[in-house]
A and B are shown apart, each in its own frame.
Chain A
Amino acid sequence: MNMNKITPSSDADVLKRAKRREQKKRDIRRFFRVMFSRKIVVVGAAGTLFFVLVAIFAPLIATHDPNYIQNGKNLLDPSAQFLFGTDMYGRDLFSRIVYGTRVSLLTGVLSTLLATLIGTFLGMLAAYLGGVVDMVLMRICEMMRAIPQLVISMTLIAAFGGSMMSMVIILCFGGIWNSLRMMRASALSVMSNDYVLAAKLSGEPMLKILYKHILPNSVSPIIVSASQSVGFTILMESGLSFLGVGIKVPTASWGSIINEARVYLITNPLYALIPCACLAVLIISLNLLGDGIRDALDPTLRGES
């Protein structure tokens, strides 16, 4: 064609790239500004950060080996040596709770992440391909939702055992379905836009359409729901451990500590209350943080508060 061709000089290119970076920075700053516009979100973020740090630096923080049994020193009250006292076997409760943070966060975050990834992909497939694929996936979803998650998880644990890894996979299995359904709905609404048709009509392959057009435009509700379901997953893990079918003993888990402590509720109330409080604080913090992410990502989803 007869247009004169101008190669953009490298100066202009550099300038443009700098401009884009500037824009990105501004976007990120805006994200955090909106996210933390409510003070309570800051509290949630601080709480979450606190537990994350505890989990990372557990070996430095713990005062004892969490699994070391000190003979004859069982069920002690808090003291300088044992900050939260000792448990029924004479293990240091403080150290056990510190290490328990690792279990809770790791299983919670990892399994939610995995579930979201798988659910997102399957959800997009269901929306994009429709027909049989959609029908089969949705029927499986419905089946999974019809059976209580606790029951499914307990069955799977009976089959796979209670290692950390299998715990992650089992919890993830319970979480896939929700994100699948959400992603499918979200992707369907994005697909009604002409730009998806335009991409299809210009011959773009399916995976690229999914990745380039549908995913970025439909993923924000999924991120929001994932950030809010981390807390739920942690609760689930604690619940399983409480029932004695969670992480194998003697690995410290908040749920199993609470389970052990329940017998001593009257005589040693702190034994049970401390892990309960930790669990409550962590989950509330995570939920508040999730609310903040929701506000920042999608203002239309914001609640009345």
Chain B
Amino acid sequence: MSNLVETKNLVTTFPYDGKKRIRAVDGVSLNLKQGEIVGLVGESGSGKSVTVMSILQLILPPGKISGEVNIEGIKGNILDYGMFSDEVRSTRGGKIGMIFQEPMTSLNPILTVGYQIQENIMTHLGLKESEAKQKAIEMMKRVGIANAEQRFEQYPMQFSGGMRQRIMIAMVLAAKPDVLIADEATTALDVTTQAQILELIRDLAKKENVTVVIVTHNLGLIARYADRIYVMYSGHIVESGEKFEMFERPAHPYTRGLLNAVPRLDDDKTRRLVPIEGLPPNPANMPPYCKFFDRCLYREDRCKERMCELEPISENHFVRCCLSVEELDKKRDQIEGQFKSAPVKTISGEVCLEVRDLKMHFPVYRGIMKKHVGDVHAVDGVSFKVYTGETLGIVGESGCGKSTLAKCIMRATKPTAGEIIYKGTDMALLKDRALKPFRSKITMIFQDPFSSLDPRQTAGSIVGEPLKINKITKTREEYNDRVDELFRLVGLDPEYRSRLPREFSGGQRQRLGIARALASSPDVIICDEPVSALDVSIQAQIINLLEELQAKLQITYLFIAHDLSVVKHISDRIIVMYLGTVVEESPAELLYSNPQHPYTKALLSAVPISDPKVDAQRERIKLIGEIPSVMARSAGCPFCERCQYASERCRTEKPKLKDCGNGQLVACFLYD
């Protein structure tokens, strides 16, 4: 089969500090064949987006592209044609279509979606307006949009994120491209929507024999949807090959490292993640040898002698490493033998925090007179207990109320009703002054390591702030000692105390956030998506740190996240939330092996496991529809409209959490 698109030694550079240029893409050679799905995987800054943008010549000056890009049907190197030449313009959107990450901004809000699809068809296929409209409606139907004729006239704001991404797909596919590039196209979406969209892309691509490039940082997605994989690191392709081969016999130390660093749904409780220590090299001063050298567990002195090239190790498997596969495999046993197992923690039977029937309703006003027209039930009767020293995971898709729940427990907002009992005191309705003693005992780790640290305070004063507020340390000396101790506890050098947050990397900033949460020796730490803004290799570092701290200090965690694999890895028990209610509560192990609630089952099946063999064997449950609007909630089970087992009773009566023995609680009439 010939190559549809082929790049040879593609180099994209950007100016840096005057005359120097950094190489964002450093000699990438890849090829795309008809009808295959190719995964381009790498962490942020690895150059994967710049690579696809360079192929489409979307790099604006002062960025410069060099090398060779050959596209079938166009003579010679497409880089020789100008950025605005007809050849390049007909390639963009015509031969190669692209879907971007942010569905909220990639459609023009003042034009109807129909017009936007139609416009694309008219440009690339040269159809007349009425024909184009027919075609556009047909495309909308193909991507699964109901009532396409009516929705044709609607504006992007009337569509949800997942629906907008469908529109994007319709728009791109309407021009009959040979290649479809999805640049992190589902990263901003919920897992169940993500699965829907990717399945749609895959099915359409197979049907029409379109080549798809999935650009992502998520190994699981690649394992599930791609046929062939390119792994990128610091502008290089470090490994490429067929999916099954790559996951079964990963060769490059970086690929091996990534697979060891990601939590998996089918993990056993004792598995400890192995982070890739350190950070990717600064693009401004790249070493002249292997770029992964500093973080590599397999490194040898000879790696420093030269820059190795991408070389074949079998027919379709290429690796960029100085060591041969045999040498790497031999070293593996020795290296993996040193991996520590997960720290052992002790969970006491004592209830540390209990939430009883917590409700948080936000009123909705409408009209000039601000008439009260209803309430948004963000959290609607949630109850659970957390025992000292355990980790309770709270998982659910966006809009399920998990963050609102965290805010209520932190008492950042006052709940509408219910009890939050910490060590015997109900603090749900306490006033600010009365809350003060609890502030030091329940602390929080935030999602975004960039917005959670004051950019004008030094690291030391950020970490030490709770000490001062709660007057925990008496003297200056004691304060200094404690701050140094906190820095060491989270694995930072106390020397860094006088630095500003901007001088730290994302992972280090999150460590500062953890140190601040630990400062007042809390009993409970609420972690609101603490790792979702981090790259996988860094994510593993933070998860390990949290586990170690728990074992050492006997802290109770409430771990809130949308990533089921992460929650499953760190938690002892998990509650699954849907539209403000708890649908299932279960020990972490049982949740994966024996899910009860139909929503839990669907959620689990939407999360890919980064092992294609295991993943292919799992049962697939597709969810119908999307999360209903916050205002239109059914009187019965919140899940009934998307549930395939829903009966009449589900629509009228709300199921209560029931014990099914073995520690699992489920709110569903199926188990009555």
Q: Give residues 1-31 of A contacting B (CB, 8 Å).
A: 1, 3, 5-8, 16, 19-20
A194 touches B465 (CB 8 A): no
A142 contacts chain B at the CB level, 8 A cutoff: no
A204 vs B440: C-alpha distance when bound (angstroms): 11
A202 touches B456 (CB 8 A): no
Q: Assuming A6-B484, A203-B436, A203-B469, is B452 touching A194 (CB within 8 A)?
A: yes
Q: Mark B446-469, 1 if CB is under 8 A from A, else 0.
A: 111001111111000010011001
* Closest CB in chain B relative to A226 CB, distance in Å: 19
Q: Assuming A193-B451, A194-B446, A194-B448, is B439 touching A201 (CB within 8 A)?
A: yes
Q: Assuming A8-B480, A201-B412, is B498 touching A16 (CB within 8 A)?
A: yes
Please, which residues of chain A bring their CB within 8 A of the CB of B453?
195
A192 vs B452: C-alpha distance when bound (angstroms): 10
B485 contacts chain A at the CB level, 8 A cutoff: yes
Partner of B498, one of A19, A197, A199, A217: A19
Determine which residue in A192, A203, A213, A217 has the highest number of CB atoms from chain B within 10 A of its CB, and name it.
Answer: A203
B209 contacts chain A at the CB level, 8 A cutoff: no
Please, which residues of chain B bring their CB within 8 A of the CB of A212?
454, 457
B488 touches A3 (CB 8 A): yes
* Closest CB in chain A relative to B520 CB, distance in Å: 7
Determine which residue in A3, A200, A216 has the highest number of CB atoms from chain B within 10 A of its CB, and name it.
Answer: A3
Q: Mark B391-413, 1 if CB is under 8 A from A, else 0.
A: 00000000000000000001110
A68 vs B484: C-alpha distance when bound (angstroms): 70
* Closest CB in chain B relative to A167 CB, distance in Å: 36
A135 vs B481: C-alpha distance when bound (angstroms): 46
A212 vs B469: C-alpha distance when bound (angstroms): 13
A199 touches B465 (CB 8 A): yes
A5 vs B494: C-alpha distance when bound (angstroms): 12
B498 touches A198 (CB 8 A): no
A202 touches B439 (CB 8 A): yes
Q: Give residues 192-250 of A contacting B (CB, 8 Å).
A: 192-195, 197-204, 212-213, 216-217
* Closest CB in chain B relative to A27 CB, distance in Å: 11
A195 touches B451 (CB 8 A): yes
Say what secondary structure dominates the interface of chain A. helix
A236 vs B411: C-alpha distance when bound (angstroms): 49
B412 touches A5 (CB 8 A): no
Q: Give residues 419-460 of B contacting A (CB, 8 Å).
A: 435-436, 439-440, 443-444, 446-448, 451-457
A203 touches B455 (CB 8 A): no
Please, which residues of chain B bring their CB within 8 A of the CB of A194?
446-448, 451-452
* Closest CB in chain A relative to B281 CB, distance in Å: 25
A302 vs B553: C-alpha distance when bound (angstroms): 50
B520 touches A202 (CB 8 A): yes
Partner of B516, one of A8, A19, A198, A213: A198
Determine which residue in A7, A193, A202 has the highest number of CB atoms from chain B within 10 A of its CB, and name it.
Answer: A202
A204 touches B488 (CB 8 A): no
B489 contacts chain A at the CB level, 8 A cutoff: yes
A195 touches B436 (CB 8 A): no
B454 touches A217 (CB 8 A): yes
Q: Mark B478-508, 1 if CB is under 8 A from A, else 0.
A: 0011001100110000000010000000000
Q: Assuming A19-B498, A194-B446, A202-B440, is B488 touching A217 (CB within 8 A)?
A: no
* Closest CB in chain A relative to B415 CB, distance in Å: 15
A201 touches B444 (CB 8 A): yes
Nearest residue in A to B526 (C-beta to C-beta)? A201
A3 touches B485 (CB 8 A): yes
Q: Assuming A202-B443, A213-B454, is B412 touching A197 (CB within 8 A)?
A: yes
B452 touches A203 (CB 8 A): no
B86 contacts chain A at the CB level, 8 A cutoff: no
A204 touches B469 (CB 8 A): yes
B77 contacts chain A at the CB level, 8 A cutoff: no
A203 touches B439 (CB 8 A): yes
B412 touches A200 (CB 8 A): yes
Nearest residue in B to A8 (C-beta to C-beta)? B480
A53 vs B439: C-alpha distance when bound (angstroms): 54
A81 vs B470: C-alpha distance when bound (angstroms): 71
Please, which residues of chain B bring their CB within 8 A of the CB of A213?
454, 457
Please, which residues of chain A bring their CB within 8 A of the CB of B452?
193-195, 198
B477 contacts chain A at the CB level, 8 A cutoff: yes
Please, which residues of chain A bring their CB within 8 A of the CB of B553?
1
A202 touches B465 (CB 8 A): yes
* Closest CB in chain A relative to B389 CB, distance in Å: 16
Q: Give residues 46-77 of A contacting B (CB, 8 Å).
A: none
Please, which residues of chain B bring their CB within 8 A of the CB of A199?
454, 465
A3 vs B487: C-alpha distance when bound (angstroms): 11
* Closest CB in chain B relative to A16 CB, distance in Å: 6
Please, which residues of chain B bring their CB within 8 A of the CB of A1?
485, 489, 553
Partner of B481, one of A5, A16, A195, A197: A5
A3 touches B489 (CB 8 A): yes
Nearest residue in B to A23 (C-beta to C-beta)? B498
* Closest CB in chain A relative to B142 CB, distance in Å: 40
Q: Assuming A194-B452, A198-B516, is B481 touching A204 (CB within 8 A)?
A: no
A195 touches B454 (CB 8 A): yes
A197 vs B455: C-alpha distance when bound (angstroms): 14
Please, which residues of chain A bring their CB within 8 A of the CB of B446?
194, 197-198
* Closest CB in chain B relative to A239 CB, distance in Å: 39
A194 vs B456: C-alpha distance when bound (angstroms): 14
Q: Give residues 71-110 of A contacting B (CB, 8 Å).
A: none
Please, which residues of chain B bring their CB within 8 A of the CB of A200?
412
Q: Mark B76-108, 1 if CB is under 8 A from A, else 0.
A: 000000000000000000000000000000000
* Closest CB in chain A relative to B467 CB, distance in Å: 10
Q: Assuming A194-B448, A204-B469, is B456 touching A217 (CB within 8 A)?
A: yes
Determine which residue in A1, A19, A193, A198 has the highest number of CB atoms from chain B within 10 A of its CB, and name it.
Answer: A198
Please, which residues of chain A bring their CB within 8 A of the CB of B455?
217
A85 vs B245: C-alpha distance when bound (angstroms): 96
* Closest CB in chain A relative to B443 CB, distance in Å: 7
Residues on A close to B: CB < 8 A? 1, 3, 5-8, 16, 19-20, 192-195, 197-204, 212-213, 216-217
A–B pairs, 16, beta carbons within 8 Å:
A5-B484, A6-B484, A7-B477, A16-B498, A193-B451, A194-B452, A198-B452, A199-B454, A200-B412, A202-B466, A202-B469, A202-B520, A203-B435, A203-B436, A212-B457, A217-B456
3 nearest interchain CB pairs?
A203-B439, A194-B452, A193-B451
Given A195-B451, A201-B439, 4 more contacts at CB 8 Å?
A: A194-B446, A198-B452, A199-B454, A200-B412
